[in-house]
Structure formats: structure tokens, C-alpha cells
């Protein structure tokens, strides 16, 4: 299977299911058997996934992508052995990051809900025009890209987490802020915007927000 078929959703789903690490192996860059060069799509998805992981508090080193040919069996064994040792040193998912299981699943599932949105954003804002490893490194590791990603993703992730919380039960602004570690003023801003879109309603008597 082409590594380009490894969707962002697959990576996040693996972590949501409790996997401690994800390894992606692809064909050597610039040696793709297809005109699509899907291994560059895999490289792009791995960069985006790592940025998402950083936002939700996971060590991005829990995800690794390597490129090799079909004849590089020994190299594959070396890569996977090294990755397994690294993950073992990190320990179980969330523990070394200081995130509880329930909170971690909420964060990952909230990020998963944003995958369709991130696919659109990737096509419009994070598409690297030149297919070369250095071009991808320069683009995705630049300060400008990090600032753009923070601006695009942070608010969306916060709203996604809030919506998942409100599926369980109605909550006040203070309860939401305390649970997610957000500023109450930011929660209020998100709720006002979500109310306008008909996503939530505010109960004036109970002073809480609930899903519509």
C-alpha cells in the first residue's frame, strides 16, 4: 500500500486506541512508482500530525516516518528496533506527558473530529509547491508555518473539546474552563460564537451551556 494512503485520521485513531507510538514506512522520496508521489503526502500528514500532537500535549517523537526501498529490509529492522526502544523509554501514552487517560482521549477525539477541516486547510494553506525533502523541512519547520498553524488550529481544537464535553452533560463556563484548563473569557468567546451557529444554547436559569 502506498504510504500516501496513511491518512491523518489513521494516525490519530491509533493513538486514540491507546497505541504508544506510530511508525510509518514509505518508499524513498523521489523514487515513487506512481506519478502522485504519495510519500510526500505521507510526509505532509506526519508533519501535521506532530503539530497536532504538540497542541494536545503529546510528545511528537511518538510518531516517526522513514523512507526506504523494498530492498532495505535490514534498514527497516534497524529503524523499527530503534523506534521501539525509544517508545519503551517514553513509557505508556500520556503517562510521561502527565495526561490522564480520560483527558487524553478527549483531546485526541476532539482532534480527530477536525481531520476533514484539516484536509481542506492542508490543500489551501499547507501545500508545499516543490516536492523535495528540504522544501518540506523548510516549510513545516518555519516560524511562519507554526504561527499559521497555531492561529488556524487552536480555537478549532478548543471548540471541538468543548462540544465533546457538552455531549456528556450541560456545563457552566467555569466548569468548562476548569476541565480543559482554558481561560474563562476564551470559553465565553467560543460559546458565543457557537451559539450564533446554533451549536449550543445557554440556559439562563441554570447558567449553563448545553448542546442543541
Distance in angstroms (rounded) separating the CA atoms of residues 137 and 34: 22
Whole-angstrom distance, CA of residue 178 vs CA of residue 175: 5
Q: What is the 3-state secondary structure (H, E, C) of 37-51?
A: CHHHHHHHHHHHHHH
Would you state the pLDDT for residue 34? Answer: 74
> What pLDDT shows up at residue 12?
97
- Spatial separation of the C-alpha atoms in residues 212 and 195, rounded to whole Å: 9
So what's the pLDDT on residue 185? 96
Q: What is the pLDDT of residue 162?
A: 97
Q: Does this model's pTM top 0.85?
A: yes
pLDDT computed for residue 37 by the predictor: 82
The residue assigned the cell 526502544 is 85
Q: Flag residues of the chain having pLDDT under 70.
A: none
For the chain, give the number of residues: 212
Amino acid at each position: 500500500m502506498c504510504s500516501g494512503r496513511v491518512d491523518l485520521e489513521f494516525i490519530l485513531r491509533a493513538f486514540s486506541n491507546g497505541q504508544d507510538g506510530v511508525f510509518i514506512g514509505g518508499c524513498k522520496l523521489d523514487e515513487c512508482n506512481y506519478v502522485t508521489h504519495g510519500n510526500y503526502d505521507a510526509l505532509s500528514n506526519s508533519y501535521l500530525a506532530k503539530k497536532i500532537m504538540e497542541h494536545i500535549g503529546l510528545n511528537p517523537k511518538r510518531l516517526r516516518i522513514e523512507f526506504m526501498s523494498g530492498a532495505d529490509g535490514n534498514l527497516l529492522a534497524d529503524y523499527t528496533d530503534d523506534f521501539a526502544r525509544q517508545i519503551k523509554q517514553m513509557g505508556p501514552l500520556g503517562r510521561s506527558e502527565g495526561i490522564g487517560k480520560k483527558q487524553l482521549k478527549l483531546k485526541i477525539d476532539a482532534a480527530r473530529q477536525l481531520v476533514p477541516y484539516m484536509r481542506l486547510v492542508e490543500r489551501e494553506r499547507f501545500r508545499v509547491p516543490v516536492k523535495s525533502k528540504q522544501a518540506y523541512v523548510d516549510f513545516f519547520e518555519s516560524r511562519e508555518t507554526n504561527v499559521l498553524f497555531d492561529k488556524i488550529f487552536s480555537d478549532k481544537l478548543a471548540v471541538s473539546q468543548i462540544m465533546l464535553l457538552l455531549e456528556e452533560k450541560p456545563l457552566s463556563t467555569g466548569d468548562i474552563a476548569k476541565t480543559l484548563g482554558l481561560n474563562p473569557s476564551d470559553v465565553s468567546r467560543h460559546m458565543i460564537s457557537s451559539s450564533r451557529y446554533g451549536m449550543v444554547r445557554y440556559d439562563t436559569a441554570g447558567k449553563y451551556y448545553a448542546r442543541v
